[in-house]
Amino acid sequence: MSFDPSDRIASLPTGIFAELAAKKRAVAERGLALIDLSVGSPDLPPAPFIRQVLAEAVLDGSKYEYTLSAIPSFAEAVASFYQRRYAVSIDPSREVVQLMGSQDGLAHLALALINPGDIVLVPDPGYPIYAASVQIAGGQLVPMPLRPEHGFLPQFDAIPVDVAERAKFMVLNFPGNPIATIAPAAFFEQAIAFAKRHHILIVHDFAYSELVFDGLRATSILAYPGATDVAIEFNSLSKTFNMAGCRIGYAVGNRQALNLLQLLKSHIDYGVFRPIQEAAIAALMADPSHLEEQVHTYERRRDTLVAGLRNADWQVPTVHATMFIWAMIPSRFESSRTFALDLLESTGVVVTPGDAFGQEGEGYVRIALVQSEDLLAEAGQRMAAYLQRL
């Protein structure tokens, strides 16, 4: 017996990570030890105090009921975190929606806002859920190319006026994934003005807000005047606090957009497990000094891998944020996918081809800093030896 997929599912491409998984199994069966730098899943655990709160709450038999939505102290913790970290004032009772991770929220937002044929502006390259969520909702994707000659920033003046007038929302992501760009203040000011001019909701994915290096800081879009009129911001505890498997995040900002998202969620889920919410509250309310060592860990990892690759004359960039390096592939390869698969077959090092993130990603690979310094040093040595054999 066979079953036909819905049109929504049929329109979605096969994920690159499924293809890589099959290749990884084949390489491992040959006895070559893998160093997986493809998926951006933190390899570090949450801080001990976060795990302690979670463990104690899990053992409390009274905390297994439906939560339905955020417990009030979670929303208050988000508001406190935003005030302390970004000098942004948030009303916890009206301007916070809890999510089962920001990916969940992004997918549901499209369903809450998009009608078939509605235009959505998305970065290209961009995190895959941006495009997939719009396709599932029946919307029309219009890519905003991110190119090196423009600092990997969207160019609003390149968007035709008729397209801008029909756009329902646009997705921004700074610091970015897969490209670890930090947007300057002038860019956010331009984005807000553009959104107001064309009545577009800005959806800012801020998942890497605290993974910023070299003494720099990322800024919430909500810190800029007029942002709450046209913007909501998604954030997550996955990367900042290494709680990826806990699946908890939040959206803040424009009340009307958040209300629509919350309404949809009320028909789909029954809330995040209360012990996870309590662990998240502990994380958000803690002294942020415990995040500094994590930042230094990723800085050291970046420096280790970059140094190893530059020794082989692969001039990868020194990124200032996130857990990713976005690197142009060697010129002899026809495509990013050909390079990534050959690298895996030859060295056991797994990276993600840039075309997995959109047409503009062709010619690049994303390398995730999700292994120890020792393993990254070994990965650098393997890749350097491979490049020198070419």
Domains of the chain: 12-37+290-389 (3.90.1150.10), 48-285 (3.40.640.10)
Per-residue model confidence as pLDDT tens digits over 328-358 = 999 889 999 999 999 999 999 999 999 999 9
- Residue 262 pLDDT more than 80? yes
Q: Which amino acid makes up residue 101? A: G
Confidence at residue 49, expressed as pLDDT on a 0 to 100 scale: 97
Partners of residue 140 on adjacent β-strands:
119
C-alpha closest to that of 235 among 106, 137, 87, 146? 106
Confidence at residue 68, expressed as pLDDT on a 0 to 100 scale: 94
Confidence at residue 45, expressed as pLDDT on a 0 to 100 scale: 96
pLDDT class of 15 with cuts at 50, 70, 90: low
Per-residue model confidence as pLDDT tens digits over 135-160 = 999 999 999 999 999 999 999 999 99
Share of the chain above pLDDT 90, in %: 90
Half-sphere exposure (Cβ direction) of 340: Cα atoms closer than 13 Å: 30
Q: Could you tell me whether strands 324-328 and 249-253 are parallel, antiparallel, or unpaired per DSSP bridges?
A: unpaired
Average pLDDT over residues 268-292: 95
Omega of the bond leading into 125 within 30 degrees of 0 (cis): yes
Burial of 68-104, coded b for 16+ CB within 10 Å and e otherwise, reads ebbbebbbbbbbbbbeebbebebebeebbbbbbbbbb
What residues contact residue 255 under an 8 Å CB cut-off, 6+ apart? 94, 95, 228
Average pLDDT over residues 55-64: 98
Q: Are 239 and 323 in contact (CB under 8 A)?
A: yes
The CA distance from 374 to 37, in Å, is 13
The CA distance from 43 to 376, in Å, is 13
Q: Are 241 and 210 in contact (CB under 8 A)?
A: no
Half-sphere exposure (Cβ direction) of 123: Cα atoms closer than 13 Å: 27
Confidence at residue 280, expressed as pLDDT on a 0 to 100 scale: 98
pLDDT class of 215 with cuts at 50, 70, 90: very high
- DSSP summary character for residue 249: E
Average pLDDT over residues 153-176: 98
In whole numbers, what is the pLDDT of the chain averaged over residues?
95
Q: Are 195 and 201 in contact (CB under 8 A)?
A: yes
Q: Rounded to two decimals, what is the model's pTM?
A: 0.96
- Residue 379 pLDDT more than 70? yes
Burial class (CB in 10 A: 0-12, 13-18, 19+), 6: exposed
